[in-house]
Structure formats: C-alpha cells, structure tokens
Amino acid sequence: MGTLTRKFANNFTVGGVYKPAAITNNSLANITDIPAAAKGKLTLISSQTASASASIEFTSGIDSTYHTYLFKFVNIHPSVDSAGITFQMDISGASNYNTTMTTTMFQSYHNEGDTNTILSYRTDSDQAQGTAFQEICLDIGNDNDQCCNGNLYIFSPSSTVYVKHFISRFARIGGADYAGDQFYAGYFNTTSALAKIKFQMTSGNIDAGTIYMYGIGA
C-alpha cells in the first residue's frame, strides 16, 4: 500500500492538480503496472474471404502461442435475408463441432423509420449446456448494401485446466432496415484444448466478407 500511495501522490502537482504519468507510445510492453501475461501485441495469423461459402473454418493457428484470439468480421454479407452468423469450436483432429457451451445475449436496435427501438435480452439466442452452433450476429440483411461487422474474442482456448470463455460485439443492419448493436458472451464447458473454429450462417451461405484471426499476447 505504501508503494501505491507514493506512486499516486507523485502524480499531483504542487498546486494539487492530478497529472498521471505520461505514456510515451502505444506499446503495452512499456507499461510496468500490468501483469506480464496481459502484455502483447496484436498479431495477424490468417484471414479468409467468403465467396458464396457454406462455411469458413480455421483449422490451424489456434494453440498455446497466444492467450487470447480475436476474430474480426468485416462486411459479412449473407445470401439469405435476415440470416445470422454462428460459430462452434472443436478439439484438434475432430470435426463434430458440438462442444457444450452456456451463453448469453442482449441487444439494442433502432429502425430507419424512427418508429421502433429496443434494449432487451434474447432468450432465443442463448444456450444452456447446448451443443448447437452459437449465433453471434442475428438478422443480417442481404440487400446489396447490407452487412454486419464485429469482433469475437476467445480466451485461453488451449487451456487444459479451465473452461474457455468468449465475448463478442457486432453491429449490423437488419433485414427490415434496423441498426443493431449485439452483445454475446459465454463459455465452452470443457477443459480440453480447443484448436479449431467454424463459422456458418443460420441459413444459406456467407455470400461475401472477410474474417481475420489475430493472436494477442504470448
């Protein structure tokens, strides 16, 4: 406590104005007050671009090299109106994609006509010890100018001690011209290392768009 108090006190000027220590650049490696395990840069591992694709799989690159994996979805466009994008994970060498998970979801939306808004939990978008593909962005429009964009984080997928948590956030324009902000979270209820991930739509194909896979930390 004494060390923390002195550090805090040293950030006040003679006149009593709080002045935090300057950060000279954006590298986490130069910040000394966070655990070493949390430090690290964003490293692009691979990417895949859809073209009327039934699914997109990343079957390599998910291992113990990184403690967190980030999947960035850019301009994901479905072939079927109001379809949603889903995902599942599996262990190395398997292809069932039916790992047990428990999940949550809430969203807000607002339509172009300014006649309908909502902030709500979606009970039809969660799972309780389910094995289905988990939706992470629902009701995406398939007009030529419609798509969704977002991020999915998966934490310590290679752990053989803990369950595997994930969180996601997506923005989308819906089939009925709604702007949507969607939040999902949950965990894969397994202590087996997960090494593969698969994305597909609730119906139809992933007509277009790119998914980037990044590793964070080491």
The tens digit of pLDDT for each residue in 8-21 reads 455 555 555 555 55
In the chain, the number of structural domains is 1
Q: Which residues, listed in sequence order, are joined to residue 32 by a DSSP beta bridge?
A: none
- The answer as to whether 11 is a domain residue is no
- The answer as to whether 125 is a domain residue is yes
The rounded percent of the chain whose pLDDT value lies above 90 is: 79
CATH number at residue 125: 2.60.120
The tens digit of pLDDT for each residue in 194-217 reads 999 999 999 999 999 999 999 998
The tens digit of pLDDT for each residue in 135-190 reads 999 999 999 999 999 999 999 999 999 999 999 999 999 999 999 999 999 999 99
User: Residue 169 is which amino acid?
Assistant: R
- The answer as to whether 180 is a domain residue is yes
Q: Is the pLDDT of residue 22 over 80?
A: no
Q: Tell me, what's the pLDDT at 8?
A: 47
Residue 93 makes CB contacts below 8 A (sequence gap 6+) with none
- The answer as to whether 23 is a domain residue is no
The tens digit of pLDDT for each residue in 56-86 reads 999 999 999 999 999 999 999 999 999 999 9
- The answer as to whether 201 is a domain residue is yes
| H or E segment to which residue 152 belongs | strand 148-155
Segments forming the whole domain that contains residue 76: 35-216
- The answer as to whether 1 is a domain residue is no
Q: Which of 150, 148, 151, 152 is nearest to 172 (CA)?
A: 148
pTM, two decimal places? 0.83
Q: Tell me, what's the pLDDT at 218?
A: 74
Residue 95: exposed, middle, or buried by beta-carbon count in 10 A (0-12, 13-18, 19+)?
exposed
